[in-house]
Amino acid sequence: MVARHIKTAGLAVNATTNQKVSDIVKGVIEDIRTNGDKAVRSYSEKFDKWSPPSFKLTESQIQECISNVPEQTIADIKEAQKNVRIFAEAQRASIKDFEIEIQPGVFLGQRNNPISTAGAYIPGGRYPLLASAHMTILTAKVAGVRHVIACTPPISGQIPNATVAAAHFAGADEIFLLGGTQAIAAMALGTESIKKVDFIAGPGNPFVAEAKRQLFGEIGIDLLAGPTEVLIVADEYADPFTVATDLLSQAEHGPDSPPILITTSEEVGRQTIKFVDQILPNMPTAELAGTSWRDYGEVVVVDSLDEAYELADVYSSEHVQILTRNPREALEKMRNYGSLFLGEKTCVSYGDKCIGTNHVLPTRKAGRYTGGLWVGKYLKTQTYQEVMDEKASGEIGRLCARCSRAENFEGHARSGDLRAHKYLQDEHPWIHEARK
């Protein structure tokens, strides 16, 4: 493969955890582990200048928040959640319990049981990401999670009314105005006022991501999300203005969100660069988007679409948009991505906000080994077995004993011996010796 850059990134993407961030997060977690609500309040005051009588919103406070949200926004939240619900329900329906009889009298099965309690983190620092409420809370509820706790930070000392409304309509059982590491630690560890959860989902800043990383094991997590990523594969038929617009739509997430174009057409690549430069000055988020484009943006020219798909798989980006004459070809050609957006009538922003697929997706090449958040993340696929036939139990006992002794597990072997003795009358000296 011969790939030529006509725009290179000014900086390399840093996938390592900042040691200062790690140390701060560790200290906050241990303080909350020891001091509970007292520590939570002190960090909320320190980081968010927020210390209400109670971090948990009452039903009347929630209704007041909803009353302050424009009717059109409420309608839009409900429409987006309808789409998310439909897709999540289809995912749930695709996951089946089953039981099989692998030989006469031997039954094996699996059940998909929901997690009991989940935490949903809804970011609110630079932007009030109310769509994250749809993706985390509603998906958990469709999976059957009984109790979902939502945490979202105040924004400049104010309650984010639309985010609270989205969390409520998504089905949150409790909503806390609490952000950052203190929110993740409080949900993961439990405090006097916040119930310990079994699992936490949702994107966030580096402190939130690091808190999830450090607490993983004590609780489950969806994934470790880094900065937003977008990669567009374009052929000579792609509209460079659309390419530029869609690259910048994701670059505005933050100053370190890589926007990448892989194209078979140098002309499309150069025109895209020109349009990015023309669009940026009039973007309200130009400072963030422009920084990402300058420092992490790439435009790569390849000889064929097969090479484009192969290179895109190497990048394994969070969002991969296909702007080609036959976009569905990517479904067969590509394997590594968070989510695919096929054709000009589709765009990444649809997935971010309202189309129905989940926007919590793998970054930093994690698409090589995992998908994003979905109903299945909230389910535990658990197996069971039952032997109802005596002869079958005895035969499996003999097999178990031989397999166990091959590994020097005598205790395991004796469980098998005992069934062979009970149901096939096998003689084993250790049984007679132990029963004397």
- Could you list the active site residues? 318-319
Distance (Å, rounded) from C-alpha 353 to C-alpha 349? 6
Instruction: Determine the length of the chain.
Output: 436
The amino acid at 393: S
Please tell me the distance from the alpha carbon of residue 421 to that of residue 434, in angstroms, as a whole number.
14
> How far is CA 399 from each of CA 155, 404, 410, 427, rounded to the nearest angstrom?
63, 8, 13, 15
> Minimal CA–CA distance to 206: which of 43, 22, 23?
22
Chain position carrying tokens 């697929």: 357
Dist CA 227 CA 204 (whole Å): 9
Q: Rounded CA gap, 273 and 288, in Å?
A: 17
Alpha helices in 15-106 (DSSP H): 19-35, 37-48, 59-67, 71-94
- The pair phi, psi for residue 302, each rounded to 5°, is -125, 170
Q: What phi, psi does 208 have (nearest 5°)?
A: -65, -45
Beta bridge partners of 306: none
Of 25, 23, 427, the closest CA to residue 205 belongs to 25
Computed on alpha carbons and rounded to an integer, the radius of gyration of the chain in Å comes to 26
Give the start-end residues of each E strand in 235-305.
Answer: 259-263, 298-301
Tokens 């003795």 — which residue?
421
What whole-number distance in Å separates Cα of residue 266 and Cα of residue 279?
Answer: 20
SS3 316: coil
Question: E strands within 283-393?
Answer: 298-301, 319-323, 339-342, 379-387
Determine the residue type at 145: V
